[in-house]
Homo-oligomer: A and B are copies of this chain.
Amino acid sequence: MANKPVTIEISARHVHLSAADLAHLFGEGYTLAFKRALGQPGQFLSEERLHVEGPKGAFDSVAILGPTRAFTQVELSLSDARVLGIDLPVRASGDVKGSAGIKLIGPKGALVLKEGAIAAKRHLHLSPADATRFLLRDRQTVSVRVDGPRALVFDEVLVRVSAAFHTVMHIDVDEANAAGLTGPTEANILL
């Protein structure tokens, strides 16, 4: 079997905002301040933070990723969902229809979202070159093996291929803890 190495990165809880929601929470004409570039081209961690609230609990100081998107999406773990007291579905990014409601509180306003909060389905960003090299196609699912004392094989890893992507796999903090990962880790795609 050919070796298909991939780096796994851990996504902590974060928010993507639409331009309209950014204006509502931070004020008309507000622009997110660049703090640090993220792995995917053009994506960045902003200086701004939000208060995210559910019926049972809340998180202060949740990261906002830029740039703004077509719609607001809040990515949390199932552990977070328990703290907040919400019923969080596992969804591919962008698939927010009928997902969990959540309250966002910024310095200039608050928003009660009827949907938009998800646990991100674990996924593998692939550049077209790596998709060709690994014989993988957009939207298929693969399995990825992690070694170590909490070794496991993640099945149901959603493959996303785009010229806008660097190749990297993303999991959430629960998944990282289950696999004993604390930072970027080399893993292997199985097929």
Interface residues of A (CB under 8 A from B): 77-79, 90, 121-122, 143, 149-156, 173-175, 177-180
How distant is A14 from chain B, measured CB to nearest CB, in Å? 16
Residue of B nearest to A174 (CB): B177
How distant is A58 from chain B, measured CB to nearest CB, in Å? 15
Q: Is the CB of A155 within 8 A of B156?
A: no
Q: Contact partner of A77 among B121, B154, B177, CB < 8 A?
A: B177
Q: Contact partner of A79 among B90, B177, B180, CB < 8 A?
A: B177
Q: Contact partner of A178 among B121, B149, B151, B178, CB < 8 A?
A: B178
Q: B residues within 8 A CB of A77?
A: 177
Report the Cα distance A67→B121, complex, angstroms: 40
Residue of B nearest to A144 (CB): B152
- Identical copies in the complex: 2
Kindly list the 10 A-B residue pairs having the minimum CB-CB distance in the complex, ordered from nearest: A178-B178, A174-B177, A151-B155, A78-B177, A153-B153, A175-B178, A151-B156, A174-B178, A79-B79, A174-B174
How distant is A85 from chain B, measured CB to nearest CB, in Å? 14
Report the Cα distance A174→B82, complex, angstroms: 12
Q: B residues within 8 A CB of A175?
A: 177-178
Residue of B nearest to A151 (CB): B155
Q: Is the CB of B174 within 8 A of A79?
A: yes
Report the Cα distance A180→B87, complex, angstroms: 12
11 pairs, CB–CB < 8 Å, chain A vs chain B: A79-B174, A90-B149, A90-B180, A151-B156, A152-B152, A152-B153, A152-B154, A153-B155, A174-B178, A175-B178, A177-B178
Report the Cα distance A150→B77, complex, angstroms: 13
Report the Cα distance A33→B57, complex, angstroms: 31
Report the Cα distance A153→B152, complex, angstroms: 6
Residue of B nearest to A154 (CB): B152
Q: Is the CB of B150 within 8 A of A90?
A: yes
